[in-house]
Amino acid sequence: MDNTVEEQSAESKGGGMKRKTIIFIAAAIVVLAGVFLFYFFYLENPSRQVLARVNDEKITVDLFNKELAKVEPPLIRDMFREEPNNLLERLVVKTILLQEAKKQGLSAPVKTYKDAAKNPVPPEESIIIEFIGKKFSSPPEVTREEVEGFYKMYKDRMEGKPLKEVAPAIEQYIREAKQQEALRQFLEELRKNAKVEISQERLQKISAKPPEMDTENDLKQALTSGKPVLVDFGANSCLPCRQMRPVLKEVGTEYSEKAKILVIDVYKYQNLAREYKVLMLPTLVFFDSKGKEAFRHVGILEKEKIVAKFKEIGMGS
């Protein structure tokens, strides 16, 4: 009888320990789930993720994404996705300018609906425009010596026109160049003196992977394939190069059995850029079936001209 009671007591204690263990595990899961939810829905919320601090003012991932969505055309937007630091730097400078403008007591004018329809410039940009306008309200001086020096340097481009006739246009050009240089130096100084902290880790996380490009080995194999080859010497950061990609892809797909098309990054393969004397982007170089250069073109080239050139250098119809 005593043994039976002891056994029952032991079983009861064992059951109690099991329940306590289950309750403890359940509580731990709830706590971990809470931490998980807090991390992803609070700390990892784009509106709370700080990409940069500019004089203690935050630029968040959410703000970055909103500015990115405004960028046109889509090709440039894609480039900013791959190199977000370029857009972030613009936001940093914009923030500094707004801070400086507000120090001067400038604020966006109150607009009615009709005013907004006539002038759709965002309030923050209106403040910056006013600030820059006041800062550089006095146009820089242009001397006669500067005009004459410019005329002498570029006389061969003046279409035989005398100095007297082109002097006003030259003066205006020099004045605008001076204004741009003054603005560049001013922005550079502001950026230098501002306290800017950028989260490189977070910047890396939001960076999109750039399109794959061909390698040096791909080029060697293509030039010994016995087929005509077109090599686009370009870069992902080059807008005309990016504009060529759909055209090259279309031609490459359509004539995959008769010709080869490659895209080489000149910054990654600088030795190839030097070897083939690439000075401007994009440079399109056509090679015949023996791997010998047959033609080159700098800039964008239409699909019809690419196909015509391929046929001219030996691609079968």
pLDDT digits (tens, 9 = 90+) for 71-85: 999 999 999 999 999
Q: What pTM, to 2 d.p., does this model score?
A: 0.74
- As a whole number of angstroms, the distance between CA 249 and CA 256 comes to 10
CA 178 to chain centre: 28
Cβ contact 309:295 at 8 Å:
yes
- Residue 104 confidence (pLDDT) above 80: yes
Query: In the predicted model, is pLDDT for residue 88 greater than 60?
Result: yes
CA dist., res. 41 & res. 104, Å (int): 39
Thinking of the domain 216-312, which architecture would CATH place it in? 3-Layer(aba) Sandwich (3.40)
Please determine, for residue 36, whether its predicted confidence score (pLDDT) is greater than 50.
Answer: no
Report the SS3 class of residue 317: coil
pLDDT at 26 over 90: no
What one-letter code names the amino acid at 300?
Answer: I
* Residue 33 pLDDT > 50: no
Instruction: Tell me what pLDDT residue 48 has.
Output: 80
Angle between helices 163-193 and 144-153 (to 10 degrees): 100
What average pLDDT does range 246-259 have in this prediction? 95
Strand partners, 59: 52
Longest alpha-carbon distance in the chain: 127
pLDDT for res 4:
56
Which helix (H) or strand (E) segment is 58 a member of?
Answer: strand 57-60
- Flag whether pLDDT at 39 surpasses 70: no
In total, the chain counts a number of residues equal to 317
R_g of the chain computed on alpha carbons:
32
Residue 107, pLDDT score: 85
User: What's the whole-number average pLDDT of the chain?
Assistant: 87
At residue 144, the pLDDT reads 95
| H helix or E strand, kind and range, residue 77 | helix 74-82
Lowest-pLDDT range of 102-111, 163-172, 239-248: 102-111
Which residue ranges make up each domain of the chain?
A: 1-44, 51-140+176-208, 216-312
Enumerate the active-site residues: 238, 241
Quote the pLDDT of residue 31: 45
Which parts of the chain are beta strand (E)? 50-54, 57-60, 196-198, 229-234, 260-265, 283-287, 293-298
pLDDT over 90 (residue 94): yes
Residue of higher predicted confidence among 47 and 138: 138
DSSP assignment, residue 214?
Answer: B
Helix, strand, coil shares of the chain, percent, nearest 5, are 60, 10, 30
Long-range contacts of 144-150 (CB under 8 A, 24+ apart): 146/174, 147/171, 147/174, 150/174
Is the predicted pLDDT of residue 49 greater than 50, yes or no?
A: yes
Q: What per-residue confidence (pLDDT) applies to 57?
A: 95
Token pair 């809470």 is found at: 34
Bridge partner residues of 295 (DSSP) = 286
- Is the model's pLDDT at 42 over the cut of 50? no
How far lies 86's CA from each of 58, 76, 207, 280, in Å? 17, 11, 11, 22
Instruction: State the DSSP H helix or E strand holding residue 190, giving kind and residue range, or none if neither.
Output: helix 163-193
